[in-house]
Amino acid sequence: MAEYLRLPHSLALIRIRNPPVNAISPAVLYGIKEGLQKAVSDHTVKAIVISGADGKFCAGVDIHVFSTPWSSDTGLGDLVDEMQRNKKPVVAAIEGMALGGGLELALGSHYRIAHVQTETGFPEVTLGILPGARGTQLLPRLIGIPAALDLITSGRCILAGEAFKLGILDKVVNSDPLEKGIKFARTILDQPLECRRIMNKTVPNVPNMDAIFSEVFAKVRKQYPGYIAPETCIRAVQASVKHPYEVGIKEEKELAVYLVESGQARALQYAFFAERNANKWSTPSGVSWKTASVRPISLVGVLGKHVGEFLDSPHLHMVRAAIYLVPSGVKFCGKHIAVLAPLILIQVHELFILCVRTGDGNFFFFFFVVLGPELRTYTLSHSTSSQLIEMENILVPRGWGEVVSTFLTISNNGTMNIHVQVLCRHTVFSSLRDSIYVIYIRNFRVSDLAGLDVGWKGRKGQGLTGPALPPGTPARKRGNIRYCPIPDILCESGRFGQKTGKGWYQYDKPLGRIHKPDPWLSKFLSQYRETYHIEPRVISQDEILERCLYALINEAFRILGEGIAASPEHIDVIYLHGYGWPRYRGGPMFYASTVGLSTILEKLQKYYRQNPDIPQLEPSNYLKKLAAHGNPPLKEWQRLAGTPSSKL
Ligand SMILES: CCC/C=C/C(=O)SCCNC(=O)CCNC(=O)[C@H](O)C(C)(C)COP(=O)([O-])OP(=O)([O-])OC[C@H]1O[C@@H](n2cnc3c(N)ncnc32)[C@H](O)[C@@H]1OP(=O)([O-])[O-]
C-alpha cells in the first residue's frame, strides 16, 4: 500500500509501504495513484513528496506478479506519465534503493534527491524483462544513449554519487533524504515544471549513433549468448531515438510484453527466488545460516592450478592466513578466501558446497569444503579473473561430496560415448540449438584442466581399470554395466589433459591454455569402433540432448527422493553457480518442469529399453511418482511425492 499524509507548508507526502522492500504490487500502485489524486484535488497542496517507508524507496515491481495477468499491463507506465504531467511539482526523496519500477517512479518525479548510500539501476534485464514503465524512453532522454544503454543492458546498480554524475539524481545528501526533500519542496512551489518533464526532452544527439547501437548489439551477443532480454532492451532504447515519446512508449510496451511472456523471463525470475530460498536452509537440529556465528579460520589447504597462479606455484599449498567468514552475498576481495560460517558449528566431517560466481558474471570453480579436527583441509575455489566474488550457500549432508562430485560423472558415464561423439562433431555441436550443451562440452575442458589422470587413478583404485582388473574382463563391461574405457585409453597414451598439452583437446603447449579439437581423437575413435565392432550411426540432436540431460535430471530426482537435497531449487542453484548451467533455463529441475515430467519419463523408459546396461537411464522412483500426477508445478513436487526423511 501507500500512505497519504498532509504535511505543513502546503505539502503532501505519499509514502510507499510494502515490506520487505516496498515492491510495487497492485495495491501499492493503487495507493500511489489515489495519493496523487488526493494531492491534485486538494487546492491547499502546492507540492508532493514521494518516499518509501523503513529507509527503502522501492525495489521495483513485485517480481511475483510477472506470473500473473497483471504483468502485461501494470499501469505503472501510465502512472509515471501522470506524475510527469502533474501540475504540482513531485519530489522523490530516495533512500536505500530505487530499482526497476522504483527508479521509473523517481524518473516520473520532477526532482530526485537521494541519500549517498542509495543504489539505483534497472536490473530488469537480469530477470529477463526490460524497464517497461517508460524506463527505456526516459533514461536515454535524461542521460544520453551510451550511459542509458550501459545501465539498461547490464542491469548493474550504481551508488548515488555515480547516479548524480550521470544526471539521474539532482541532489545527493548525507542525512535523511525525506527531511531534505520536504525542505527542498518548499523552495520550488511556484517554479515552472515544463523543463522538469523528462518526456518533453529529446534524446541528446551524438554523431555516431548507428555505430554505438551496432557495437552494443555485438557486445551483448558476445557477453550474454542465448539471452533474449539484452538485445530486446537495446531495441527498446533505439525506439527512443527513432520515435517521438508517444510512439516510443508503445514500442517499449510491445517489447516488454514479448519478454514478460517468454520462457526465459520465467526461468530467470525462478532463479532469483530459488537463490533466496536456497540460502534459507536449516539443519534438523535448528542450525541455519542466520544463527551461525562468524569465526575465523587459521589454516587452509588450497588445491588447484588457478589458486596456484595466485600463490606462485601450481600445486598444493598450505596457507596460513587469517581467513574471515563473511555472510552470504557479501562481496569480498578475491585475496581473502572466505569459507561459510556454519561449517564450523556443525559436527566434524560435514561437507558443504561453495558455489562461487565472479563479479564479472563468470561462473568459476566451486568445490567442497571439508572440515574436521583431523582433516583440516578445505578445497576452495578461486577465480583469478575477478576481484569480487559472491557466494551462495547451500546445505548438503555428509556424503554429498561424493554424490555431487560424481553427479555429472554418474550421468556422464551413461552417456560418455555420446559426449565423445559430440566432442568430435564440434562443428555440429556449435550449431546445436541449446546452450545447455555447453556444460557438457565444458566438462571436457574441465577434465583436461583438472587432469585426466585424477579420475584414472580413482578408477584404478576401484578396480575398474589397471592391474586390479580381473583378467578376462570385457573392455566395455563391468559386471552387467556398460563401461566406457576411452578416458583410460587416453591416459594410457599419456594424454593427461592440459598439463601434458593433450587430452580431450590438443593445446598449444604443455600447461598451455589455447585448445583446439584434436584430429587424433577422431582417428582414434574410428579405430576404437572397428576394434569393438561398433556400427557408426548418426545420432540426432534430440537424442544427444535427451540422453545427456535426462540422465542428469533422473539423477537429480533420485537425490531428491533420497532426501539428500533439500529441494529442487537447491539442485538448480548448485547447477547455476557451480556448473555454468545457462541461467535463462533456470536449472535442470526447472528445465524438467518445462519439458514435462511424463515426457522425460517416457524418453528415459525408451532409452533404458534400448540400453538396459546403462543404469543411469532407468527412471528413478521419485520421477515415476511425480509423473503419475501429470506435470505438477515444481513447488508442488515435494508435497505430492512425499518428503523423504532428510539426510541433512
Ligand atoms: C512494467 C515493469 C517494469 C518494471 C519492472 C521491475 O521493477 S522488475 C523488479 C526490478 N527490481 C529488482 O530486480 C530488484 C530485485 N531485488 C534485489 O536486487 C534485492 O532483493 C535488493 C537489492 C532489493 C535487496 O537485497 P537484500 O540482499 O537486502 O535482500 P534479498 O535479496 O534477500 O531480498 C529481501 C526480500 O525481498 C524480496 N524481494 C526483493 N526484491 C523484490 C521484488 N522486486 N519483488 C518481490 N520481492 C522482492 C526477496 O525475495 C526477499 O524476500 P524473502 O526471501 O525475504 O521472502
Q: What pLDDT digit, counting tens, does each position of 6-38 carry?
A: 999 999 999 999 999 999 999 999 999 999 999
Q: What is the pLDDT of residue 316?
A: 29
Mean pLDDT for all residues in the chain: 79
Q: Which residue CA neighbors atom 27 of ligand 1 most closely? A: 329
pLDDT confidence bin for 503, thresholds 50/70/90: very high
Instruction: Identify the weakest region by mean pLDDT among 480-494, 537-551, 598-612.
Output: 537-551
- Residue 134 pLDDT greater than 90, yes or no: yes
Pocket test for ligand 1, best of 18, 21, 54, 567 (most atoms within 8 A of CB): 21
Q: pTM (2 decimals)?
A: 0.84
Do 2-261 and 404-641 have matching folds? no
pLDDT confidence bin for 81, thresholds 50/70/90: very high
Q: How many CB atoms lie within 10 A of CB 116?
A: 14
Q: Give domain limits for the chain.
A: 2-261, 286-391, 404-641
CA of residue 160 to ligand 1 center, whole Å: 19
Q: What is the pLDDT of residue 589?
A: 95
Q: Which residue CA neighbors atom 49 of ligand 1 most closely? A: 273
Q: What is the pLDDT of residue 540?
A: 75
Q: For residue 101, which atom of ligand 1 is closest to its CA?
A: 7
CA of residue 61 to ligand 1 center, whole Å: 9
| CA pair distance 457, 496, nearest whole angstrom | 11
**Exposure letters 564-588 (e unless 16+ CB within 10 A, then b):** bbbbbbbbbbbbbbbbbbbbbbbbb
- Percentage of the chain beyond pLDDT 70 is 73
- Nearest one of 245, 235, 240 to 213, comparing CA atoms: 235
CA of residue 510 to ligand 1 center, whole Å: 47
Q: For residue 100, which atom of ligand 1 is closest to its CA?
A: 7
Mean pLDDT for the stretch of residues 163-169:
98
Q: What is the DSSP string of 105-124?
A: HHHHSSEEEEETT-EEE-GG
Q: For residue 135, which atom of ligand 1 is closest to its CA?
A: 3
Q: Which residue CA neighbors atom 31 of ligand 1 most closely? A: 276
Q: Which residue CA neighbors atom 19 of ligand 1 most closely? A: 59
Tens digits of per-residue pLDDT, 523-554?
Answer: 888 898 889 888 777 777 778 778 878 888 99
Q: How many CB atoms lie within 10 A of CB 76?
A: 24
CA of residue 21 to ligand 1 center, whole Å: 7
CA of residue 276 to ligand 1 center, whole Å: 10
CA of residue 118 to ligand 1 center, whole Å: 15
pLDDT confidence bin for 73, thresholds 50/70/90: confident
The full length of the chain comes to 648
Q: What is the pLDDT of residue 434?
A: 53
CA-based R_g, the chain, Å:
28
Q: Are 498 and 512 in contact (CB under 8 A)?
A: yes
- Residue 431 pLDDT greater than 50, yes or no: no
Q: Could you list the active site residues?
A: 104, 124
Q: Which residue CA neighbors atom 23 of ligand 1 most closely? A: 59
- Nearest one of 451, 515, 510, 521 to 486, comparing CA atoms: 521
Q: Which residue CA neighbors atom 52 of ligand 1 most closely? A: 276
Q: What residues does ligand 1 touch, defined as CB less than 6 Å away?
A: 20-21, 23, 59-64, 74, 76, 97, 99-101, 123-124, 127, 131-133, 256, 276, 329
Q: What is the pLDDT of residue 405?
A: 43
Pocket test for ligand 1, best of 28, 32, 61, 63 (most atoms within 8 A of CB): 63
Q: What is the pLDDT of residue 422?
A: 52
Tens digits of per-residue pLDDT, 231-269?
Answer: 999 999 999 999 999 999 999 999 999 999 999 999 999
pLDDT confidence bin for 285, thresholds 50/70/90: low
- Residue 478 pLDDT greater than 80, yes or no: yes
- The ipTM estimated for the assembled molecules is 0.99
- Residue 570 pLDDT greater than 60, yes or no: yes
Q: Which residues pair with 390 in a beta bridge?
A: 357
Topology classification of domain 404-641: N-(1-d-carboxylethyl)-l-norvaline Dehydrogenase; domain 2 (1.10.1040)
Interhelix angle 541-561/568-578, rounded to 10 degrees, is: 130
Tens digits of per-residue pLDDT, 167-222?
Answer: 999 999 999 999 999 999 999 998 999 999 999 999 999 999 999 999 999 999 99
Q: Which residue CA neighbors atom 14 of ligand 1 most closely? A: 59
Instruction: Identify the weakest region by mean pLDDT among 163-167, 226-230, 560-564, 568-572.
Output: 560-564
Most confident of 286-295, 478-487, 489-498: 489-498
Work out whether strand 388-395 and strand 350-358 pair parallel, antiparallel, or are unpaired: antiparallel
pLDDT confidence bin for 581, thresholds 50/70/90: confident
CA of residue 394 to ligand 1 center, whole Å: 20
Q: Are 416 and 488 in contact (CB under 8 A)?
A: no
- Residue 509 pLDDT greater than 90, yes or no: yes
Superfamily of domain 2-261: 2-enoyl-CoA Hydratase; Chain A, domain 1 (3.90.226.10)
Q: For residue 63, which atom of ligand 1 is closest to its CA?
A: 44
Q: What is the pLDDT of residue 74?
A: 85
